[in-house]
Amino acid sequence: MDTPQRLFAFLESNRVYNHEVQQNYYRHTLSQHTTLTQRLYCLLHSVVHTQSRPKMDAIGPFFKQYFACHSSIETFTDFVRFLEQGTPPSKAKIDPNTQPYLHLYDVVNKQKGWGPKTAALLVKALYHLHSDHYAPELAIFAAFPELQTDDRLFLPVDSVITHVFKVDLKVDCPANFNGINAFLQQRYNAKQMEVWDDLWFWGYITQSTKNSSRYSSGFNENKYWSNLYTNKQLDLPLLKLKIDEYLEIINAPSAQAITSGL
């Protein structure tokens, strides 16, 4: 078993940690709102503002158009139709009926001010909210397509995940959104790609920055305690043992110069 396989097995066995963080985030974002319009707007607003420097001149018109059309958005299909307005057809052949998640990513990515990482984050969030892994009251739409293994999910690659692939794992692929997703999508189906999203949690709580240089060193307790969504009643000694296991995997000698095969 190579290092990415060992890391995937670790992520798959320890889903409870990031799941709790994500569910707390979704509750905080949505719980104060009751209408579909409000809940969808709050999710869109929260996701697009995860960007370090969101482009207000592009995002503003997007939300202006959303509120001009919000009364006609009652279903997932309505939402996709709203996103399709004014967007050029995809160069790749995407069947919205058999690959609704890939199609959703495609039309969100084409919105001005969004971009691939933010589009991937929104698609992942909507999948979470309508899956049976999260509290049912968090769902926005009454019906949502199931994720099939031959559909496609993209990992929302940020600086945390980039560091893991480039510096820790030393994967021989471009250390960016496209390169990392291409590497993973060659090896993992859509449902497995969602598991890889948990890498953000483990990278986030083990990375530190000194003199503008990022490094993975151990449990960053300050990050953990400062994050609004982490469980402050968690068994921290057990979490630290899990962190040691994670660091042993990403620092293993076999983690050096993994060939991407791209």
Are the C-beta atoms of residues 157 and 193 closer than 8 Å to each other?
no
Burial class (CB in 10 A: 0-12, 13-18, 19+), 8: buried
Are the C-beta atoms of residues 112 and 62 closer than 8 Å to each other?
yes
Q: What does each C-alpha distance from 27 to 1, 30, 135 come to in angstroms?
A: 37, 5, 9
pLDDT of residue 189: 96
| Full-model pTM | 0.93
* Residue with more model confidence, 91 or 209: 209
Other Cβ atoms less than 10 A from the Cβ of 46: the count is 17
Mean pLDDT for the chain?
Answer: 93
**CA-CA distance, 247 to 208, in Å (whole number)?**
13
pLDDT of residue 261: 53
Q: What does each C-alpha distance from 123 to 28, 126, 155, 190, 197 come to in angstroms?
A: 18, 5, 10, 12, 12
Tokens of 190: 């859509």
